[in-house]
Amino acid sequence: MIAMDQFTYRPARDELAYTFGGRLPVAHVRSGDILRVHTEDCFGGLVRGPADLPSQVCRMPYLNPVSGPFFVEDAEPGDTLAVHIASIVPARDWGVSATFPYFGALTSTSHTATLQPPLDERVWVYDIDRAAGVVRYHATESEHTVDLPLDPMIGTIGVAPGGMESRSTIVPDHYGGNLDTPELRAGTTLYLGVNVHGAMLALGDGHARQGQGEACGVGVEIATMTTLAVEVIKGADTAWPRLETDTAIMSVGCARPLEDAYRIAHQDLTAWTVDLCGLQTLDAYQLISQAGRAPIGNVCDPNYTVLAAVDKALIPQSLPAYHDAHARLRNLAGARE
C-alpha cells in the first residue's frame, strides 16, 4: 500500500538552489507523498516593474532558482521517478517577462556569437486574473492590451544528473531541468530516470503561460504553489524525460541543433511505443510519422527542447505505461485535494 503523507515546503531565500546535483536534500519524501512546493520565479522575485532590468537586479549564477532537492526514499539509479503535477497556482497577481541581453531566439547570443549590439533590455508586467483564467499583456510603447489564456506550467523540474555532475538550472537535459514546455501543466505526469540515490527532485520557474519556443527567452514568469504526487517505479530505466496525460504519451528531447532534440524525442517515443504495445519498430515509426505531434518547448536555453507526442487511443496499448503510475498518482492527488 502506498503511504499518503502530505507536506508543504516553502524555501527560505538562502535555501533556493541553482543547480541540479551537488546539493544536500531539503526534505525526504516517499512514494505516494503529496508535496506542496512554493517556487520562486526565474528572477528570484527581483524583477517587479519596468525599472527592474534583469541584468541589473539579478546576478549570475543566481538565476532560475529551484525549490529542493527532495530526497525520494527508495529511489536508486536504474529506477524511474514519476512526478504527477496535481496543480500549479500562481502565487501573485502579476507575472513578468523581459528581453535579456544576448538571450533569446531572435538575437545573437553568447553561443550564436556575432559582432552586433544586443537588443534593448525591457520588462513587461502581466496581470494575472486567476478567477477569469487570463493573463493580461500590456504593450510598452503603445496602448495595446490583450488577455491571453492562463495556462500555468513548471518551466524547470528535474533530478540530479548523476555521473557526479551538477548542472545549472538554466540547462535542460536528460535529467529534466529547464525544459520550458507548456506540457508541464497540471494533470501531467513526468517520468525521469533516477541517476543518484534519492533522485533529488527539485522544481521552479513557473510560467503563467508561454508561447511555443519561448522566443524572447522568457515566459510570463511567476512564483507558484505547486502540488505534486511522487512515486518510484523500481527497475524501470528512463533515458529522457517522458510525459503522460490522460490522453497522450510524450517524449522530450533536449539538444542543439533543434533537429537533434526532435530526433531524440521521436526515437524515444518510437521505442516507448514499441515497448508498450509490441508494434514492430518501423510500424511504430510509421504510425508516429502520421499521427504524432511535435510541440517545440524552448529555442533559447543552452539545449533546445522538442517533444514527440502521440495519443494513447491510437496505439494498441496492452500495457499501461510504468505500471499505470499516471492513473494512480492522479487519483491519489485527487483524493487529497
The residue among 227, 198, 231 whose CA lies nearest residue 72 is 198
Give the position of cell 504510425. 287
Interaction of residue 241 with its own copies, rule CB under 8 A: no
Exposure on the CB side of residue 55, measured as CA atoms within 13 A = 11
Site string for its own copies, 23-62 (x = CB under 8 A): -------------------------------------xx-
Q: Which of 1, 49, 51, 120 binds its own copies (CB under 8 A)?
A: 120
The Cα 42–Cα 144 span in angstroms is: 26
144 to 183, contacts with its own copies by CB under 8 A? 144, 146, 148, 162-168
The residue among 282, 95, 264, 303 whose CA lies nearest residue 179 is 303
What DSSP character marks residue 6?
E
Interaction of residue 262 with its own copies, rule CB under 8 A: yes
Q: Which of 286, 319, 324, 334 binds its own copies (CB under 8 A)?
A: 286
The interface region with its own copies, picked from 32-40, 113-121, 228-236, 321-329 by CB under 8 A, is 113-121
Smallest distance from its own copies to CB 332, Å = 31
Interaction of residue 224 with its own copies, rule CB under 8 A: no
Q: Which is nearer to its own copies, 153 or 333 (CB)?
A: 153
Q: Which is nearer to its own copies, 5 or 15 (CB)?
A: 15
Amino acid at 33: D
Interaction of residue 103 with its own copies, rule CB under 8 A: no
The Cα 11–Cα 74 span in angstroms is: 24
Interaction of residue 215 with its own copies, rule CB under 8 A: yes
**Kind and range of the H or E element at 267?**
helix 258-277
Smallest distance from its own copies to CB 258, Å = 4
Which residues are CB-contacts of 223 (< 8 A; sequence separation ≥ 6)? Answer: 38, 39, 40, 41, 45, 90, 91, 92, 206
C-alpha grid cell, residue 287: 504510425
3-class DSSP state of 284: helix
Interaction of residue 185 with its own copies, rule CB under 8 A: no
Q: Which is nearer to its own copies, 100 or 191 (CB)?
A: 100
The interface region with its own copies, picked from 79-87, 217-225, 227-235, 241-249 by CB under 8 A, is 217-225
Interaction of residue 135 with its own copies, rule CB under 8 A: yes
Smallest distance from its own copies to CB 6, Å = 31
What DSSP character marks residue 21?
S
Smallest distance from its own copies to CB 120, Å = 6
298 to 317, contacts with its own copies by CB under 8 A? 299, 304, 306, 314-316
Interaction of residue 214 with its own copies, rule CB under 8 A: yes
Burial per residue of 137-164, b for 16 or more beta-carbon CB atoms within 10 angstroms, e otherwise: beeeeeeeeeeeebbbbbbbbbbbbbee
Q: Which of 198, 292, 328, 332 binds its own copies (CB under 8 A)?
A: 292
The interface region with its own copies, picked from 5-13, 37-45, 68-76, 96-104 by CB under 8 A, is 96-104
- Going from the C-alpha of 253 to that of each of 44, 70, 182, 248, the distances in angstroms are 27, 24, 14, 17
Q: Which residues pair with 87 in a beta bridge?
A: 227
Smallest distance from its own copies to CB 146, Å = 5
C-alpha grid cell, residue 228: 505534486
Helix axis angle, 281-291 relative to 258-277, nearest 10°? 120
Q: Is the peptide bond before 61 cis (omega within 30 degrees of 0)?
A: yes
What phi and psi, each to the nearest 5 degrees, are found at residue 135? -120, 125
Interaction of residue 204 with its own copies, rule CB under 8 A: no
Q: Which is nearer to its own copies, 227 or 273 (CB)?
A: 273
Q: Which is nearer to its own copies, 1 or 115 (CB)?
A: 115
